[in-house]
Structure 1
Amino acid sequence: MACQTCGDATSPAFNECQRCGTPLGQPAIAPGVPTYRVRSLGTAAGIAVGAASLLYVPSGLFPVLGVRMARAAAERSDRDLLLGAAAAEVLLTLLHVLAILTAAVLVIIWTWRVRKNLEAFPGALPTLSPAWAIAGWLVPFANLVVPARVVANVARDSLWRRTTPALVGLWWTAWLVFSVGDRIVARLEEQRYGRLTEWPRSETEFATYVRFYQDALGPRLIPTVACLVAGASFVVLIRRISAAQESRIAKAAPLWPGHPGGIVAGAPYPPPRSASAYPVDPAGSIPDLPVAPGPASAPPPAPPVVGGTTGA
């Protein structure tokens, strides 16, 4: 007997498929349980995550440009260059914030859908309710653990793994390093920037801006690398989980997209209807049906002839 989910041969010695965990005799999708398509949404979420990760790189490596602009400002004693550097960094940060907000919305919806699909997969063992697929990203402190647990559960039951894939651990570790490291670096830089002279006039005061950007480059490298690793690994996870769930859902798709009672390819045609199946008029009579003449039918009587004799 072959498993209806993965197609592997099953053994009566086990109650479930040893590859995908589907109970013996169970279909790939539980009848009557709704499922959600996730391929298109997963593609959109993957693109948004990748764009947000790449847009953080110019912001994270901005001190390289900031050093050059600060040195040019010191040589020309031009404070406008320093203001331009600050404005450029703010603009890059805003672009990254917009990208990560867009990615967050798509990822939350995708996470909820793939978690909800587990309820239609016989053999799946979800540990958290679908509500945590949304609340886990938004509730403080819970967002340090819950999203990883939800995605790990989805990855195990979608990719037919007995243990959590290592890619989930790599993604979440890199994400925590990025999110926590970026906040720490931003707080320290804000304190250091507040100690700079607001309107530098001398060469020494301009030089403090050069040192500020030089010292900022090293700490920013850590969240920048972590952001790229987290983004790349999560995009791979999204693609793999979406493809696996779409493939399983497709096994439960109807053979013919017609209305209930329609003819399915390969199915026998229904028998012809009898006279009782024809519509009845309001008077309750059945309309006349054509009847083929047979050998037992008698001819109709002839009409009387005018002027003939009776009994002749």
Structure 2
Amino acid sequence: MLCSTCRLRPPVTDDGRCPLCAGPAGAAAPMPPAPAFFAPQQYLRSPEGLAKAVVVLLAVMIVADLLAVAAGLNTHRVLAAGVANDFATYDEEAATFADNLYGAASSFQTFVGLAIAVVFIIWFRRVRLNAEVFDPSMQSMRPGWAVGAWFIPIANWVLPRRIAGGIWTASAQTNTDGSWRTVPATVMNLWWGAWVCSQILSQYTARRYWAAEQPQEILDTTFLLVATDAIDIAAAVLAILFVRKLTRMQRERAALGVYPLSTPGLAERASWGRAH
């Protein structure tokens, strides 16, 4: 038997409503043992293994970015020495080595970045599906958008953060007294801001790099490449913190049961979300 109002959760009140739909009035009603799912074919699946893989790949990306920063600074040094004396004593061998070194570092970054994109999106979809079990009323977009939102130009600077916010809220651990605990989203916001800045600066720098013709323009663009790699390092560090935090939140939330506990105003917000 399911709730007479939402048809999603088991009833706990005499009139057949679940704790979420009953609101404060149903807070004193006994909670039934929480099964591993609340609707057919909707199960909690641990994101721990995927999270570890994402963290490892992000750590490798940090190493790749550090190598790119070192290679970029070396290229900048060689070019700056040539520009300083109008290339009168320009070291062609050192320039070739610097160019090859930076090319290798860039290829390493690209390879690791592709691996991160695949594994991170799989992890992101997993935690989104878990959030659907925890509390679907907190999700403003359907689960498929956890994958598709990343592939829409410009919109992918906004939509994944919106989805992540719903996952974060639904995964927040409830307090032991049955009240809802709001977990500050600082690490998620910092990660997202750093990632968007990295993407925007990367695209801007790529256009400047391919358009540069004069030695000074190339020199300035090289400095921008180094700055982009530095911001990417910050984004990767914050991404590690975000992935670890959200995965831990879901583990704690699952240990308390999959059903949202009753808290003042939550049932009204859930009903309004379904109605609109």
- TM-score, normalization: structure 2? 0.69
The DSSP-based 3-state class of the residue aligned with 1:239 is helix
Structure 1 distance, partners of 2:211, 2:92, is 20
Residue of structure 2 equivalent to 1:234: 239
CA apart distance, 1:178: 0.5
Any conservation in 2 of the 1:115–1:133 contact (CA below 8 Å)? yes
> 2:76 touches 2:223 (CA, 8 Å); kept in 1?
no
Q: Distance in 2 between matches of 1:16 and 1:222?
A: 55
SS state of the match for residue 46, structure 2?
A: coil
Is 1:183 aligned to residue 189 of structure 2?
no
Judged with a 3 Å threshold, the aligned counterparts in structure 2 of structure 1 residues 13 and 143 are, in CA distance, closer, same or farther, namely closer
User: What is the 5 A alignment of 1:18-167?
Assistant: 25=31, 27=34, 29-31=36-38, 32=40, 33-70=42-79, 71=81, 78-122=91-135, 125-160=138-173, 162=182, 165-167=185-187
The answer to whether the 8 A contact 1:156-1:165 is kept is no
What residue in structure 1 maps to residue 274 of structure 2?
Answer: none
Q: Which one-letter code corresponds to 2:166 in the other structure?
A: N
In structure 2, the residue matched to 1:219 is: 224
Retained in 2: the 8 A contact 1:66–1:213?
no
> 1:294 aligns to what?
none
Instruction: Report which stretch shifted further, 218-227 or 239-248.
Output: 218-227
Q: State whether structure 2 residue 24 is matched by structure 1 residue 14.
A: yes
* Equivalent residue, structure 1, for 2:12: none
Q: What SS does structure 1 have at the residue aligned with 2:139?
A: coil
Per-residue Cα deviation, 1:129-169 (whole angstroms, up to 9, x for no partner): 11000001112222111111111211121124547612221
Question: Secondary structure of the residue that 1:177 maps to in structure 2?
Answer: helix
- Give the aligned CA root-mean-square deviation in angstroms: 3.2
**Matches of 1:140 and 1:95, distance apart in 2:** 24
Counterpart-to-counterpart distance in 1, 2:26 and 2:209: 56
- More relative contact order in 1 or in 2 (CA 8 Å, sep 6+)? 2
Q: Deviations over 1:252-307 (max 9, x none)?
A: 69xxxxxxxxxxxxxxxxxxxxxxxxxxxxxxxxxxxxxxxxxxxxxxxxxxxxxx
Counterparts of 2:90 and 2:135, CA distance in 1 = 71
Specify the alignment match of 2:251 in structure 1.
Answer: 246
Deviations 1:218-275, CA, capped at 9 Å, x for gaps: 434542332122211111111111122233435669xxxxxxxxxxxxxxxxxxxxxx
Is the partner of 2:138 in helix, strand or coil?
Answer: coil
TM-score after normalising by structure 1 = 0.61
3-state SS in 2 of match to 1:107: helix
Q: Is the 8 A contact 1:28 1:251 kept in 2?
A: no
Conservation of the 8 A alpha-carbon contact between 2:78 and 2:94: yes
Provide the rounded CA distance (Å) in 1 between the counterparts of 2:72 and 2:125: 38
Match for 2:52: what amino acid?
T
> Matched residue of 1:130: which SS?
coil
Instruction: Please give the alpha-carbon distance, in whole angstroms, between the structure 1 residues aligned to 2:244 and 2:154.
Output: 28
The amino acid of 1:178's aligned partner reads S
* CA displacement, residues 99-139 of structure 1 (integer Å, 9 cap, x when unaligned): 11101101100010100011221575211111000001112
Where is the helix percentage greater, Structure 1 or Structure 2? 2
Q: What are structure 2's unaligned runs of at least 5 residues?
A: 1-18, 174-180, 259-276
